[in-house]
């Protein structure tokens, strides 16, 4: 028995499913989790000393690669000054100025501890601002695990086949309306029906929790127009795309400005962080300025702020890094396409910037329904093969491949070679 297997057996006794977040259980690919001991650059190392090229990157934040010196040093020196004060710090001001400076639609920002909290709070603000209750979300988009948003959710909920969770009172979801991603008409239909009651449209500008589904041209622009026409707020969930597609996230990439944006993960350089922000007149509703209550002892935690500031400062100072990363990732994803062509496999590769997904379906993937057409059994086999060869992929068809700055051409090339072998093996 490997150390990972032994740890998993132990974990099963005391942690539900042996893990602290469902996707990590590897259940959907018929495997057991690798217990990770350390990480450096593009690599993860498990408790058995196995090395893996990491395409999860802690589900997004490790855009610079693991163990970046400038991030570690700032975090360690912040640790020495104190782990938590539950009081205002200069670092919070610096972080807020950085975020507002990098993302033009964000004039004020509030730090929280996770993406879940960020989206949940942004929606509360939207409801407080508009005085309305209903929200529109999209099937297959995942916005964390708050009650009102676990409706046709992507990510782990989709993998586990339970996109609506037990334990969520129907009262909590009665104001959550679902539309189809990339289908503006489905949104227009809802607005026509009850436009005066809609507080917000919340969307992942690139859906990255049902694999990776880019918005079709006009979709985000259409949402913007509908929200403006009906007096609803447009909320972008940029937990995955923020500071990843570019310094100004998906909203800069697609040139569509939301009213509110939720951030997560990447904003803390790997520490537990989230944030939400947007137009000043809207954010001024947040307590103690306004009547929308939201609070947290660990919000703006000094260690998290230090790591996040270091990462964002580096990204801000090097806009060319995004060009480099996106270019490299594009060649990688095109390389996957070339392998599929060579092997005569009809599968689909979707990508935007350094986010991508290989779907085991012959159908173009543009929404939840088409994403679900992927053969998850085949994905499971492929994923296990890759893992055995030292490539660490998210153990779910419905998560993204994350490429980081630490993935050199050589590493990406080596991955493609192994991928060709695995896809060849799976096709037989
Ligand atoms: N919600 C994350 C994927 N989109 C999974 C987080 C985790 O398991 O760490």
CB of 237 closer than 6 angstroms to any ligand 1 atom = no
- CA-208 nearest atom, ligand 1: 4
In the predicted structure, residue 161 carries a pLDDT above the cut 60: no
- In a 3-state reduction of DSSP, which class is residue 137? strand
- In a 3-state reduction of DSSP, which class is residue 217? coil
Give CA–CA dist 405/244, Å, rounded: 11
CB of 209 closer than 6 angstroms to any ligand 1 atom = yes
- The DSSP code for 134 is E
- CA-155 nearest atom, ligand 1: 4
Instruction: For residue 285, report the distance from its CA to the centre of ligand 1, in Å.
Output: 30
CB of 383 closer than 6 angstroms to any ligand 1 atom = no
Non-local (6+) Cβ contacts of 310 within 8 A are 68, 70, 71, 73, 74, 75, 269
393, burial (CB in 10 Å: exposed 0-12, middle 13-18, buried 19+): buried
CB of 24 closer than 6 angstroms to any ligand 1 atom = yes
- CA-240 nearest atom, ligand 1: 4
Catalytic residues: 142, 237, 265
Residue pair 36/58 in contact by the 8 Å Cβ criterion? no
* Nearest to 181, CA basis, from 148, 206, 146: 206
Residue pair 412/403 in contact by the 8 Å Cβ criterion? yes
Residue nearest to atom 7 of ligand 1 (CA): 21
- The DSSP code for 269 is B
Q: Which residue has the higher pLDDT, 173 or 238?
A: 238
Instruction: For residue 155, report the distance from its CA to the centre of ligand 1, in Å.
Output: 7
β-partners of residue 357 are 350
Q: What is the pLDDT of residues 224-263, one digit of tens each?
A: 999 999 999 999 999 999 999 999 999 999 999 999 999 9
**Mean pLDDT value of segment 282-291:** 98
Q: Which residue has the higher pLDDT, 158 or 178?
A: 178
Instruction: Write down the mean pLDDT value for the chain.
Output: 96
Instruction: For residue 284, report the distance from its CA to the centre of ligand 1, in Å.
Output: 31
CB of 23 closer than 6 angstroms to any ligand 1 atom = yes
Count of H-run helices and E-run strands, the chain: 15, 14
Non-local (6+) Cβ contacts of 266 within 8 A are 60, 61, 63, 242, 243, 244, 311
Give CA–CA dist 244/122, Å, rounded: 20
**Mean pLDDT value of segment 90-105:** 98
Give CA–CA dist 187/174, Å, rounded: 17
Give CA–CA dist 75/45, Å, rounded: 22
Residue pair 254/392 in contact by the 8 Å Cβ criterion? no
**Mean pLDDT value of segment 189-213:** 97
CB of 21 closer than 6 angstroms to any ligand 1 atom = yes
Q: What is the pLDDT of residues 299-328, one digit of tens each?
A: 999 999 999 999 999 999 999 999 999 999
> To test ligand 1's pocket by mutation, which of 18, 19, 20, 21 has the most ligand atoms within 8 angstroms of CB?
21
Residue pair 29/379 in contact by the 8 Å Cβ criterion? yes
- CA-19 nearest atom, ligand 1: 8
Give CA–CA dist 157/153, Å, rounded: 6
Residue pair 131/196 in contact by the 8 Å Cβ criterion? no
Give CA–CA dist 3/19, Å, rounded: 15
Matching residue, tokens 């929280």: 112
DSSP for 330-370?
HHHHHHHHHHHHHHT---EEEEETTEEEEES-SS---SHHH
Residue nearest to atom 1 of ligand 1 (CA): 155
188, burial (CB in 10 Å: exposed 0-12, middle 13-18, buried 19+): middle
CA geometry: angle at 380 spanning 34 and 138, to 5°?
A: 100
Instruction: For residue 28, report the distance from its CA to the centre of ligand 1, in Å.
Output: 14
Query: β-pairing, 134-138 with 176-179?
Result: parallel
Q: What is the pLDDT of residues 36-94, one digit of tens each?
A: 999 999 999 999 999 999 999 999 999 999 999 999 999 999 999 999 999 999 999 99
In the predicted structure, residue 160 carries a pLDDT above the cut 70: no
């Amino acid at each position: 028995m490997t150390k990972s297997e032994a740890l998993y057996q132990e974990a099963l006794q005391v942690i539900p499913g042996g893990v602290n977040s469902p996707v990590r259980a590897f259940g959907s690919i018929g495997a057991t989790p690798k217990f990770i001991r350390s990480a450096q650059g593009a690599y993860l190392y498990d408790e058995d000393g196995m090395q893996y090229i990491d395409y999860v990157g802690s589900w997004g934040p490790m855009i610079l690669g693991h163990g970046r010196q400038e991030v570690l040093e700032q975090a360690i020196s912040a640790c020495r000054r104190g782990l938590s004060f539950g009081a205002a710090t200069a670092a919070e001001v610096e972080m807020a100025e950085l975020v507002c400076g990098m993302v033009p639609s964000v004039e004020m920002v509030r730090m929280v501890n996770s993406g879940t909290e960020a989206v949940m709070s942004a929606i509360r603000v939207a409801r407080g601002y508009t005085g309305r209750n209903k929200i529109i979300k999209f099937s297959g988009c995942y916005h964390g695990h708050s009650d009102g948003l676990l409706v046709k959710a992507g990510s782990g909920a989709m993998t586990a086949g339970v996109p609506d969770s037990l334990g969520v009172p129907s009262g909590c979801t009665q104001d959550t309306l679902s539309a189809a991603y990339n289908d503006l008409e489905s949104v227009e239909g809802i607005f026509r029906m009850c436009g005066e009651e809609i507080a917000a449209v919340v969307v992942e500008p690139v859906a990255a929790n049902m694999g990776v589904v880019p918005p079709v041209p006009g979709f985000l622009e259409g949402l913007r127009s509908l929200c403006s026409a009906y007096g609803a707020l447009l909320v972008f969930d940029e937990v995955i795309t923020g500071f990843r597609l570019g310094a100004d996230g998906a909203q800069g990439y697609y040139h569509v400005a939301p009213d509110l944006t939720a951030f997560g993960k990447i904003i803390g350089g790997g520490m537990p962080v989230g944030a939400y922000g947007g137009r000043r007149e809207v954010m001024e509703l947040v307590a103690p300025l306004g009547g929308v209550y939201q609070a947290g002892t660990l919000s703006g935690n000094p260690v998290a702020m230090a790591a996040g500031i270091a990462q964002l400062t580096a990204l801000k100072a090097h806009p060319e890094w995004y060009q480099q990363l996106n270019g490299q990732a594009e060649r990688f994803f095109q390389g996957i396409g070339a392998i599929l062509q060579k092997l005569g496999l009809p599968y689909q590769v979707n990508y935007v910037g350094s986010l991508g997904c290989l779907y085991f379906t012959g159908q173009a993937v543009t929404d939840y329904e088409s994403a679900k057409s992927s053969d998850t059994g085949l994905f499971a086999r492929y994923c296990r093969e890759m893992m055995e060869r030292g490539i660490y992929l998210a153990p779910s068809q419905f998560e993204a491949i994350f490429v980081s700055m630490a993935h050199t051409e050589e590493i990406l090339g080596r991955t493609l070679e192994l991928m060709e072998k695995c896809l060849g093996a799976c096709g037989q």
